Amino acid sequence: MAIAKLTSKGQITVPLEVRKRLGLRPGSRLDFVQTSDGGYTLEALGGSLSSLEGMFRSVGTATPVSIEEMDDAIAAESAASAFPHVPDEADSASAADFAPGHGA
């Protein structure tokens, strides 16, 4: 059980084990949520920008693409996720594949 003492200025020091468990760093924001029984729970709000460290590490090392290429990639991925059962052009058959005398 972690215990904190309230100072005369209304401040507390969050115990180390709680800070580690919640991933708290200086500047982290905490939310005190009242429970139905009148108690409170403590929740860490969002993350700080420092929590995003490393997420964009590869930025600058990737091959640049144009806006049109980005739009095409987004459209293709959106279509693929919206219609996963529809084959792409490379996998689809053409009308010639069904012509009499073809392939059979």
Q: How far apart are CA 67 and CA 62, in angstroms?
A: 15
Tell me the pTM: 0.40
For residue 68, which amino acid is it?
E
The set of residues, in sequence order, having a beta carbon less than 8 Å from that of 8 and lying 6+ positions away, is: none
**pLDDT, tens digit (0-9, with 9 covering 90-100), for 1-30:** 889 999 999 999 999 998 888 888 888 888
Strands 40-44 and 30-34: antiparallel
